[in-house]
Amino acid sequence: METKICVAVGRRAAAELEADAEPRALAARPGFLVELRLDLLSGLDGPALDRLLARFPGKSIVTCRRPDEGGGREDLSDDERLGFLTRAVRHGAKNGPAAVDCELRSRDRLPELRRALDSRPPADRPLLVLSFHDFQGVPANLETVRRNAEALGADVVKLAVTPATACAARPLLEMLSSPAAPGRRRPLIALAMGEAGLWTRLLAPRFGAPWTYARLAGNAGDAGDAYDADDAATGTAPGQPTYRELETLYRFFEQRPEWPVYGVLGNPVGHSLSPLLHNTALRETGLPGVYVPFLLEDDPVSFVRDFGDGLGLRGLSVTIPHKERVREACAELSAAVRECGAANTLTRREDGSWAAENTDATAAVDALEEKLGGAGALRGRTILLLGAGGAGKAAAFGIRERGGELLIRNRTRRRAEELAAKFGGEVVEYGALPAVPAGRGVAAVVNTTPLGMYPKTDASPLTAAQIPAGAVVFDTIYNPLQTKLLKLAAEKGCPTLDGTAMFVAQGARQFELWTGQAAPRSKSAAVVRNELEKRAKREEAR
């Protein structure tokens, strides 16, 4: 059974929805359904419902939520709400809904709805969805809730809960990843609401769900757009992706339960370009697999240990703030991870254990070396490194490996000294002008601080006067592409390098570790650059 995409619509006048071309066009496509959230539509009465049903013949899922389950109409009695569903069921044969969705909590009103359903010829009978929503947490008796829904005759069981943290979604994953559990008879849609639960929606085909819920794309949604918490208000529940993201970015209709799953673990991850980078690489190489964001506020070690099997994880990118802690979940640490004290790549081995790598180090120096003239170009050259955090350590490790000399400048002097003690090099005064003492021929400046990164794009780690004349200036920041530091450097006639080459290279190496195949680097670079340029234009237009 193919998992469908159900586009949820609401929060507007019924007449406006009737006239909207986007949901109608979608309903005409195979694989799509439209959820009519009657409780969110203003100006709705019986005739308006009939007209709406006729707009989406055989493709609508009709629901009218109770206020205590997220419904928008306090003024409707239970009889009126269920009356709408019953009317939908009794609607003309060709125009009827594909399903009606009634809350399990309204079970006392079910007999009438069932009578209406039973009055339809079997070929023309909408499915009965029995649903349960918890906006506060995950009830301990979730399995009992599921069984109750089945016992009450649900054709589809829908459970939507709100785990306080990503790891708190574990009971949901256990339920989803054991479809052959004793007593399981009915198709299940189990969702974790909020950004941390996005994976439950993106990976619905893996779990054999009959459908998942998505937002309309309107003008805002685009294939490359990552989940945007700011846009979530346009959906009907927290955490809904757009249907276009599902279709194009996450290859929703191609996904198979046996596909390997990859992802990025971090906080925040909403604007991460890694899903675009890796899903592009998977599509271009024709490999099975999907890459999703995992927003993780809690312990990365628990997540890696507890979610690997159920999700079919094969590889993880790791970003702020988990790069150091995540090492504890790994059976093997590479030399770069041991030296840098941080991992950005986890690969699952045959025996289920994890190996940690740091691909930032080689990515940073590969990009820099190429700009400086190719292999061996770093040997004996002096590099001014700005910052001594995770990326700073990775760059220092890589520069030392390739024979470069380090000058290290960091806000917290102690951390610069620790780096110099570990990798060799000299500490230069922070805040001093010029940034490096006279006579030090600096071949390149590498910025690994977040100064200048979106949204604080007005900041720069160096003033124009502090940029050594003639040095290549490499900013590891890639959002925005043109940071203030790079603009100042270009004005001074210095060659510049933005952070995309490093970003693409660190991701390409991850891809190669996970799949054993070469990553399509130039295609990935073009897609990432294009997305960043689009975002920059959107920013300007705001």
Q: Given the rule CB under 6 A, which residues bind ligand NAP?
A: 320, 360, 387-392, 410-412, 415, 448-451, 453, 476-478, 499, 502-503, 506
- The widest CA-to-CA distance across the chain, in whole angstroms, is 91
Query: E-assigned strands of 96-155?
Result: 99-103, 127-133
Nearer to ligand NAP, 102 or 501 (CB): 501
Query: E-assigned strands of 54-155?
Result: 60-63, 99-103, 127-133
Cα 71 to the chain's mean position, in Å?
27
CA-CA-CA-CA dihedral for 447, 451, 453, 455, to nearest 10: 180
- Amino acid found at 132: F
Query: How near is the Cβ of 410 to ligand NAP at its closest, in Å?
Result: 5
Strand partners, 290: 261
Strand partners, 386: 409, 447
CA-CA-CA-CA dihedral for 248, 157, 207, 291, to nearest 10: 40
Q: From CA 88, how far away is CA 82, in angstroms rounded?
A: 10
3-state secondary structure of 355: strand
Report whether 94 contacts 133 (CB < 8 A).
no
Alpha-carbon Rg for the chain in angstroms = 27
- DSSP state at residue 2: P
Catalytic-residue membership of 59: no
Nearer to ligand NAP, 204 or 416 (CB): 416
Residue nearest to ligand NAP (CB): 389
Query: How near is the Cβ of 486 to ligand NAP at its closest, in Å?
Result: 13
**Burial status of residue 145 (CB atoms within 10 A of its CB: 0-12, 13-18, 19 or more):** middle
The residue from 4, 59, 158, 323 that is catalytic is 323
Query: How near is the Cβ of 360 to ligand NAP at its closest, in Å?
Result: 5
3-state secondary structure of 210: coil
Query: How near is the Cβ of 399 to ligand NAP at its closest, in Å?
Result: 15
Query: How near is the Cβ of 377 to ligand NAP at its closest, in Å?
Result: 19
Q: From CA 261, how far away is CA 263, in angstroms rounded?
A: 7
Q: From CA 207, how far away is CA 252, in angstroms rounded?
A: 12
Query: How near is the Cβ of 342 to ligand NAP at its closest, in Å?
Result: 8
Query: How near is the Cβ of 502 to ligand NAP at its closest, in Å?
Result: 4
How many DSSP H helices and E strands does the chain contain? 18, 22
**Residues tagged active-site:** 323
